[in-house]
Structures are given as structure tokens and as C-alpha cells.
Amino acid sequence: MTQRDEGAGTAGIVLAAGGGRRLGGRPKALLPYRDGLLVERAARVLWDGGCQRVHVVLGAAAGEVRRRARLAGCVLVENAGWAEGMGGSLRAGLESLAGTSAVAAVVTLVDQPGVGAAAVRRVLAGTPAGADPRAVLAAAAYDGHRGHPVLLGAAHWPGVAAAASGDRGARAYLAARVDAVTLVECGDVGSPDDIDSPADLGLLERY
């Protein structure tokens, strides 16, 4: 697929590979959201938040997501090892940016409908003035607790990929560099609530 903008800038990565085991095997990417699918909403959030390109990492039911989801302009990345956890999907997403002119990446999760474009914009705007975008580390905070979106400068991608394993994603890498991570409070514009079980499906109506 083509991208909206081939220029330098910030890429967005949606981690959307999970199989929804606790949802009875319903992949979260395919959950209905308003007049479409949850994965469509997650990609739109990154476009609307200011990303110049959006990569969506698929795994469970990837073929069905490709057929059903309206993801024009997005790069679809398949993580064959999706069952091993979020870490592999993050690695796949970062590796898919090799050879592009992206200097930083905003990472979001498909199962957080309360995280919208306002949170993405705030994290992008909240980095220190004059900072090298390739060296930045930033994340949304909700009542002081780190969450998504996470902004990773390109200089950190190899280290993040090396540290990502299981369901940890960038957690270990960021925890080891806590003083270098800019936390941007987003509790007034978003919520980190995620969809993990049938009891959480009401979030699809709330946001």
C-alpha cells in the first residue's frame, strides 16, 4: 500500500496482532466499533494525531483483517510469531520502518479505545523544545502512571527491539531509562482502559 506522505517525520505503529484469547478467540482488531472495526479506529487515531505514516501490525486472523478492514494508506505488517506476545509485534513494527525516513514512532495498542488523537498530539507536542527527534523518549501518563501512546526516537529502536519479549513491549527498556522518559499527562483527554475480557466490551460504547 502507499503512504500519505513519503517525507520525514513521525510514524505511527498500531499493535493489533493479538488473538483475543480471553475474548473467546475473537481477535481484537476485528471487534466492531461504531460503523467499522476497532483496528480502523486505532489507525485513524494515529493519522489524526499527526503521524505521517501508519504501520499496523497484524497476527491472528491477519487475512480476515486484510479483507475486512478499511486501512487505506496504512502499511500492513504481519507478525508470524504473534502468539508469543506484544514484544514480537513491537519488533516487527519497528523493523518495518527500516529504510523509511521516519525519525520517531508513536506506538499504540488496538485495544485501548479511550486513547484518541488528542493524546497522540499531546505526547508529540510535549517533548522538550529543541530535542533531537531521533533521541526522544516520551509517553502518555494517566494520573502519573506511564501508558500509551509511547514515542520512541529512531536512535532507540534497536535497543527497544532487543529488549522486547513476551508481553513486555518497550516496558523494560523505558524502565531502565526512567530519567530520560518525558511523561506527558493525558488523563484529561484519554483513558488507558483496555479490552481484555467480555466484561470490558462496554468500552466500545463508552468512547
What's the pLDDT score for residue 22?
Answer: 84
> How many other CB atoms sit within 10 Å of the CB of residue 121?
16
What's the pLDDT score for residue 128?
Answer: 87
Whole-model pTM over 0.85: yes
Domain boundaries, the chain: 9-195
Q: CA-based angle 145:151:152, to the nearest 5?
A: 120
What's the pLDDT score for residue 21?
Answer: 83
pLDDT tens over the chain, length 207 residues: 334 433 359 999 999 999 988 888 889 999 999 999 999 999 999 999 999 999 999 999 999 999 999 999 999 999 999 999 999 999 999 999 999 999 999 999 999 999 999 999 999 999 888 899 999 999 999 999 999 999 999 999 999 999 998 888 899 999 999 999 999 999 999 999 999 999 999 999 989
Pairwise CA distance, residues 46 & 116, whole Å: 8
C-alpha cell at 195: 479490552
C-alpha cell at 119: 493524546
CATH fold label, 9-195: Spore Coat Polysaccharide Biosynthesis Protein SpsA; Chain A (3.90.550)
How far is Cα of residue 93 from the mean position of the Cα atoms in its chain?
9
Please state the φ and ψ torsions of residue 194, each to the nearest 5 degrees. Answer: -120, 165
Cβ contacts of 116 within 8 Å, gap of 6 or more? 45, 49, 189, 190, 207
Comparing C-alpha atoms, which of 178, 31, 47, 169 is closest to residue 113?
31
How far is Cα of residue 104 from the mean position of the Cα atoms in its chain?
13
What's the pLDDT score for residue 46?
Answer: 98
